[in-house]
Structure 1
Amino acid sequence: MGDPPRGGPEMADVMARVAGGDQEAFSTLYDSIAGPVYGLVLKVLRNPSQSEEVAQEVLVEVWRTASRFRPEQGSVTSWVMTMAHRRAVDRVRSEQAATDREQRNAHREHTPDYDTVSEEVTIRLESEQVRRCLRTLTELQRQAVTLAYYQGYTYREVAASLSTPLGTVKTRLRDGLIRLRDCMGVDA
């Protein structure tokens, strides 16, 4: 089926002129194809304002890419309508992706990453257990563990602080940590 515009030359000829930058030819093409493009896009999108926007995008794309039209591959109408359908489907996919993203973000905002009350209770219980177990150490072990693990001293700094040989500090720390592990019921 040939697709002549209302009372004018063949559409392929019009498209060739559009490809050459002829604005009058584009006006003729626009008058002929804008209604069907909008109708097709509206069937896909079902939103009049978005359909107008997408139809305009398609017609601008027709103007910019008219030189790519190949009459041996089909009619102008089918080329433009294929472009319109693809653009409309892309918009649907884009809108769906945005909706999905918003729902995921909303879900994340309303779902805590973890149970904060449970976390705080666990930390307090563990802290109390550590304090209780620290009380089971000898004074020298407790001092060494406190300096090394709670105040961040190196073994050498612990030795200097306690005026004790480095080897003795290492032994106290090892023995103290073993006692803490056993007291807290941690498997080795």
Structure 2
Amino acid sequence: MPAQTSDQRWAAQAAVGDESAFRELYRAHVRPVYWIAQGILGSAPDAEDVTQETFVVAWRKLPALELRGESILPWLATICRFQAANRLRQRRRDRAHAAEAVDEAELPDTISVEEQVITSALAARIAAEVGTLSDLDREIFRLCATEGYAYQAAADRLGVTHAVVRNRLSRVRTQLRGAVNEVRDA
């Protein structure tokens, strides 16, 4: 009989309740599971939650697992993808409920002309300022500030380092704050 791999041994031990064996599986696979979740969700906090949910589900389902290969990672990746899909569905439901929950009584009956002018001027100034950015800075701003990408996800998408995204986005935000303050002070 061929020797068992570490995953096979730990999975068998964890399946009968050995928490230290499950901790070994967790340590061995938490990073790849996290990166799978991060790739699907694009949000570090959500990826962390889904990673934990993946291992909670795995702990519950281990007694029924028949590990066919040497690694447990494909099984964990499948659980992770299902958990991430659930998270995405929950996000959509939350957004839909939040939109429905806006009570018209909370909305002002009128918006003053002055507020409309300030808002319009502010939007125009921000758009003009974003238009002066380099292509890379504009793309970093779009991904991180508009679409909510984590720095590392944006860096991976753009083929730059995490530090490049962090530093450039900080400069862009400072530049935009200056533009906003100009409009407010005017």
Residue 49 of structure 2 is aligned with which of 53, 62, 65? 53
Q: Is the 8 A contact 1:69 1:79 kept in 2?
A: no
* Aligned match of 2:101: 105
The CA deviation string for residues 62-99 of structure 1, in whole angstroms up to 9 with x for no partner, is: 11221121123885111111000100110011111110
Equivalent-residue separation in structure 1 for 2:63 and 2:101 (angstroms): 43
- For residue 32 of structure 1, report the CA deviation from its aligned partner: 0.8
Normalization by structure 2: what TM-score? 0.50
- For residue 33 of structure 1, report the CA deviation from its aligned partner: 0.8
Equivalent-residue separation in structure 1 for 2:90 and 2:66 (angstroms): 29
Q: Which amino acid aligns with 1:100?
A: A
Q: Is the 8 A contact 1:33 1:77 kept in 2?
A: yes
Q: Does 1:77 align with 2:76?
A: no
Aligned length: 104
SS in 2 for 1:29: helix
* Aligned match of 2:63: 67
Normalization by structure 1: what TM-score? 0.50
- For residue 105 of structure 1, report the CA deviation from its aligned partner: 2.9
Q: Which amino acid aligns with 2:88?
A: V
Aligned pairs (5 A) from 1:26-175:
26-72=22-68, 75-106=71-102
**How much identity, in percent, do the aligned residues show?**
24
Equivalent-residue separation in structure 2 for 1:105 and 1:23 (angstroms): 44
Give the aligned CA root-mean-square deviation in angstroms. 2.4
Q: Which has the higher contact order (CA 8 A, sep 6+)?
A: 2
Q: Is the 8 A contact 2:54 2:79 kept in 1?
A: yes
Runs of 4+ off more than 4 Å: 107-111
